[in-house]
Chains A and B, each alone.
Chain A
């Protein structure tokens, strides 16, 4: 619980920081201007800062240009394309939100009849909730919206179990690897580091074998089975990552808790885990990412009704042509939750990927 509250607090703090940024910038500017006016600061100082900031902005812009490019093609109506033989256009010539509407489709909460039986009587109270229409795509000329919502639901129901299972496997292991000395510890650690990258790209032959096994066990088309698989692939790298992070937590916290009379599991839940927040956030995002973006295995194992977002995205691609606008809009909507998470969790990821503890 306290973890959740911590996250909420941090988010609120971030929001405050963001909200105050303009105020702060303004204050900064006024302060600098005054000091320049008084002749205390040479005017080149603020100029240097402005120059450096502009330079950095240019770098960021260049880096994000492909994303911008995609966004433009998504905005340029259904016939959009990233190929434009008519010259370089930085803005869509005929902007339209239709592709996004097509992706999102209707957002309508249907009317429900809620029946509450009054106990010990035969009476029942029926509430009729109104139909809530947030967005009616057909009103904007989009008649056959994508199945994004069902893909989205499938992706969620794959990714969330993935994260939960992975966390259950990763957290105890990384704690043990970080804090305990036991037989085979170094061997396990070594294997994990070794396996962090080996194993991908093994080709599809492998997949066929895997698929055959799944079918034999009757697990194909099971989102849960897929989640277990993803969790398994996420184990080595993330265990190692979290272990490295935990190494950086001073043992004295733990010792303080032990002396205070805390049993091991309480030490972990009350001290180690809260202090590993950044590491956990990073692992969380990485494992979530596995489930959210994986394509090949999902495509092989799942039936159409269980298609996840990447598979759905790829089904837009035809043998010959790619509907660029829809494809891009789909990908952007697909990526946006992750992007939001990145936006807010950036400093945790930075903290979680900090290998400063690895001095050797």
Chain B
């Protein structure tokens, strides 16, 4: 008690805490810390993207401070952007990325809703326990999980996926050596990586669907499928939409899966945008161009999020709706 609580009481008496506008002060620390760590790197990246930075010139100079002033890299204007935008590989990567966003998000949503329906079905016993189990993969580090899935999708006859195919009497598939098969394997892996989060959100949404609505529909003569279509789906739309937007952003920035699987291969055909940027920056040591690509990616994803946030009215809370 005593001192601490007296101090606290004093704090409580500070008038600004009662004032609404002053509440901005509660938000500022977070905003500030975030900006300090996020804004700076982005600005640095912007800087680099206008230079011909390569490891050799960026790191020339005596102190680490020189790195901050881009070493001896020279200002080249928009050249990096021009060369990026005129590179057919960029456009391939751009297209594949959006395709991946479209397919993987669709897959993730349908799959997760399906799983969520199963583990909330009232006939199923031990639902809660099952729900506890299926979110376990969220605890595994991504780099590890992806490496494991790389093994599962090995093109070798004895990769797990192929072994299962063979148990089922199919021919083995060269997963990572064929463009669309590797694309498929990216999707499956992404789905598995994302499902715990998506399922939790969907399950919570499903549990918030008023039971009466289902009963009303039942009495109205609707079967299971109609109820799903007319009651369940519309009721979980918003939370699921929200989850989809988050997961779409994750898909857009997928890096580990294509990189670990086959470096966006076979032969760069599935090189998602971030992998493309990474490769430009590191394999070819073009930091400037890599930065430009990264920034373009940020721009796209930013625009995409902005659209979604606007459209989905995600910034609105109940308090002001």
Which chain A residues have a beta carbon within 8 Å of chain B's beta carbons?
A: 21, 25, 48-49, 51-53, 55-57, 59-60, 63-64, 66-67, 69-70, 82-88, 168-170, 172-173, 175-186, 188-191, 193-210, 212-213, 215-216, 228-229, 231-233, 235-236, 239, 243-244, 247-248, 263-266, 289, 293, 295, 309-310, 313-314, 317, 322, 327-328, 331, 334-339, 341-344, 346-347, 349-351, 353-360
From 124 to 150 in chain B, residues with beta carbon under 8 angstroms from any chain A beta carbon are 124-145, 147-149
- Please give, as numbers and ranges, the residues of chain A lying within 8 Å of B302 by CB-CB distance: 194, 198
Contact A231 B65 (CB under 8 A): no
Minimal Cβ-Cβ distance residue in B for A285: B138
Minimal Cβ-Cβ distance residue in A for B131: A346
Interface check B317, CB cutoff 8 A: yes
Contact A25 B125 (CB under 8 A): yes
- Please give, as numbers and ranges, the residues of chain A lying within 8 Å of B151 by CB-CB distance: 82-83
Interface size class of B (residues with CB under 8 A): 35 or more
Interface check B96, CB cutoff 8 A: no
Contact B68 A175 (CB under 8 A): no
In whole angstroms, how far apart are the Cα atoms of A4 and B305 in the complex? 38
Residue with the highest number of chain B CB atoms closer than 10 Å, among A88, A235, A244, A347: A235
Contact B250 A87 (CB under 8 A): no
Report the 8 A-B pairs with minimum CB-CB distance, sorted nearest first: A197-B249, A263-B12, A338-B139, A209-B44, A354-B204, A201-B253, A52-B123, A180-B23
Interface of chain B, helix or strand or loop or mixed? helix
Minimal Cβ-Cβ distance residue in B for A169: B30
Among candidates B21, B33, B65, B238, residue contacting A232 with C-beta atoms closer than 8 Å: B33
From 180 to 196 in chain B, residues with beta carbon under 8 angstroms from any chain A beta carbon are 192, 195
Interface check B319, CB cutoff 8 A: yes
Contact B148 A56 (CB under 8 A): no
From 100 to 118 in chain B, residues with beta carbon under 8 angstroms from any chain A beta carbon are 115, 118
Contact A215 B64 (CB under 8 A): yes
Residue with the highest number of chain B CB atoms closer than 10 Å, among A57, A201, A347, A350: A201
Minimal Cβ-Cβ distance residue in B for A354: B204
- Please give, as numbers and ranges, the residues of chain A lying within 8 Å of B27 by CB-CB distance: 172-173, 176-177, 185, 188
**15 pairs, CB–CB < 8 Å, chain A vs chain B:** A49-B123, A178-B317, A182-B24, A191-B31, A201-B255, A202-B42, A203-B291, A209-B67, A233-B38, A235-B34, A327-B147, A342-B132, A342-B136, A346-B135, A354-B208
